[in-house]
Structure 1
Amino acid sequence: MALKHLLGLASVALTAKAQSSSTAAACPSSIAPAHGSPSVAPGFRVQVVANNLREPRSIQFDSAGGLLVVEQGHGISRLQLSGDGACVRQSGTTQVVVGNDDLNHGLALSQDGRTLYASSAGNVYSWPYNAQEGRVTGDSTDLIEDMGEDEGHTTRTLLMSAKVPGLLLVSRGSVGNLDLQTLNVNTGVSTIKAFNVSNVTSEAYSHPSHGLLLGWGLRNSVGVAEDPVSGAIYSVENSVDNIQRSGQTIKENNPGEELNFHGYLNGTASEVTGQNFGYPICFAAWNVSEIPDNNGLQTRSNFAIGTQNATVNDTSCRENHIAPRITFDSHMAPLDIKFNTNGTAAWVSMHGSWNREDPIGYKLSFVEFDGNGSPRAAVNSTTAAVDVVSNADLSQCPRNCFRPVGLAWDTQGRLFMSSDSTGEIYMITKTDGSGVNDVRQVANGGSGGGSGTGTGSAPVPTESTGGAWKMMKGRYWAAVAAMAGGILPLV
Structure 2
Amino acid sequence: MCKDDSLNHGIALSQDGRTLYGSSTSNVYAWDYDASQGRNTSNARDIVQAMGDTEGHTTRTLLLSKKVPDLLLVSRGSQGNIDLETLDVTTGVSTIKAFNISNVTNSAYNHASDGLLLGWGLRNSVGVAEEPVSGGVYSVENSVDNLNRSGQTIHENNPGEEMNFHGYLNGTKSSNQGGNYGYPSCFAAWNVTQIPDFSGTTGTQFAIGDQNATVNDTFCQNDRIAPRITFAAHMAPLDIKFNPNGTASWVTMHGSWNREEPIGYKLVFVQFDGNGSPTASANSSTAAVDIVSNPDLSACPSNCFRPVGLAWDSQGRLFMSSDSTGEIYVVTKDDGTGVADVQQASSNRSSPSSTGSGSAPSSTAGGANRAVRKWSAGRGSYWVAGAAVVGALPLI
The alignment's TM-score, normalised by the length of structure 1, stands at 0.71
Aligned with residue 330 of structure 2, among 412, 427, 431: 427
**CA 1:98/1:348 → structure 2, altered by over 3 Å: closer, same or farther?**
farther
1:354 equivalenced with 2:257 (yes/no): yes
In 2: Cα distance, 1:263 partner to 1:250 partner: 32
> Matched residues in 2 for 1:125 and 1:394: separation?
39
CA distance in 2, matches of 1:193, 1:273: 10
Whether 1:189 aligns to 2:93 is yes
What is the aligned counterpart of 1:108 among 12, 18, 21? 12
Q: Report the Cα offset of residue 125 of structure 1.
A: 0.6
Find out whether 1:458 has 2:363 as its counterpart. yes
What TM-score does the superposition give when structure 2 sets the normalisation length? Answer: 0.88
Shift, 1:480, TM fit: 6.6
Could you tell me which residue of structure 1 aligns to residue 277 of structure 2? 374
Q: Deviations over 1:320-347 (max 9, x none)?
A: 0000000000000000000010000000
The separation in 2 between residues aligned to 1:129 and 1:421, in whole angstroms, is: 30
2:262, 2:300 within 8 Å by CA — same for their partners in 1?
yes
User: Displacement, 1:166?
Assistant: 1.3
Check 1:398–1:455 CA distance in 2 against 1; reply closer, same or farther (3 A cut). closer
Match of 1:269 among 173, 177, 182: 173
- Aligned residue for 1:99, secondary structure, equals coil
Q: Report the structure, 1 or 2, having the larger strand content.
A: 2
Task: Decide whether aligned partners of structure 1 residues 365 and 165 sit closer, same or farther in structure 2, where only a CA change above 3 A counts.
Answer: same
Residue correspondence of structure 1 range 29-428 to structure 2 within 5 A: 99-295=3-199, 297-428=200-331
Q: Distance in 2 between matches of 1:110 and 1:427?
A: 24
> Is the 2:95–2:119 Cα contact (8 Å) retained in structure 1?
yes
2: CA distance, partners of 1:287 / 1:117: 40
Instruction: Provide the rounded CA distance (Å) in 1 between the counterparts of 2:220 and 2:163.
Output: 17
Cα distance in 2 between the residues matched to 1:441 and 1:232: 20
User: Cα distance 1:201–1:162, how it changes in 2: closer, same or farther (>3 A)?
Assistant: same
**Any idea what SS the aligned residue of 1:181 has?**
helix
CA contact (8 A) 2:254 2:265 kept: yes
Q: CA deviation at 1:355?
A: 1.2
**C-alpha separation between the residues in 1 aligned to 2:161 and 2:319?**
23
User: Matched residues in 1 for 2:148 and 2:302: separation?
Assistant: 28
Report the CA distance shift for 1:442/1:176 in structure 2 as closer, same or farther (over 3 A): closer
Aligned to 2:7, the other structure's residue is in SS state: coil
Quick one: structure 1 residues 398 and 456, their matched pair in 2 at CA, closer, same or farther if it must change by over 3 Å? closer
Q: Secondary structure at the match of 1:315?
A: helix
Q: Does the 8 A contact of 1:436 with 1:442 survive in 2?
A: no
Contact 1:110/1:166 (<8 A) preserved? no
Deviations 1:49-103 (A, max 9, x none): xxxxxxxxxxxxxxxxxxxxxxxxxxxxxxxxxxxxxxxxxxxxxxxx6521111
One-letter code aligned to 1:215: G
The separation in 2 between residues aligned to 1:311 and 1:381, in whole angstroms, is 29
Against the structure 1 CA distance between its residues 289 and 110, is the aligned structure 2 distance closer, same or farther, given a 3 Å change threshold?
A: same
Shift of 1:199: 2.1
Aligned partner of residue 439 in structure 1, secondary structure: coil
Percent of residue pairs identical: 71
Give the aligned residue type for 1:311. Answer: T
Instruction: Call closer, same or farther: CA 1:116–1:247 in 2, change over 3 Å.
Output: same
Root mean square deviation, CA, Å: 2.0
Distance 2:76 2:345 in 1: 35
Letter of the 1:459 counterpart:
T
Deviation at 1:459, TM superposition (A): 1.4
Paired residues of 2:138 and 2:163 also in contact (CA < 8 A)? yes
SS at match of 2:343: helix
The corresponding residue for 2:379 is none
Q: Distance in 1 between matches of 2:276 and 2:76?
A: 24
Change (3 A) 1:437 1:461: closer
| 1:437-448 pair list within 5 angstroms | 437-440=340-343
Structure 2 residue ranges without an equivalent (≥5):
348-356, 368-382, 386-396
Measured after TM superposition, the shift of residue 400 of structure 1 is: 0.5
In structure 1, distance between residues paired with 2:180 and 2:171 = 20
AA in 1 matched with 2:249: A
Q: Describe the shift of the 1:442–1:319 C-alpha distance in structure 2 as closer, same or farther (beyond 3 A).
A: closer
Deviations 1:92-127 (A, max 9, x none): xxxxx6521111100101111100001111110111
Q: Is the 8 Å Cα contact of residues 76 and 124 (structure 2) preserved in structure 1? A: yes
Decide whether the 8 Å contact of 1:430 with 1:442 is kept in 2.
Answer: no
Matched position secondary structure for 1:289: helix
**CA distance in 2 between partners of 1:426 and 1:98 (Å):** 28
Matched to 2:79, the amino acid is V
Give the superposition deviation at 1:438: 2.1
Partner in structure 1 of residue 392 of structure 2? none
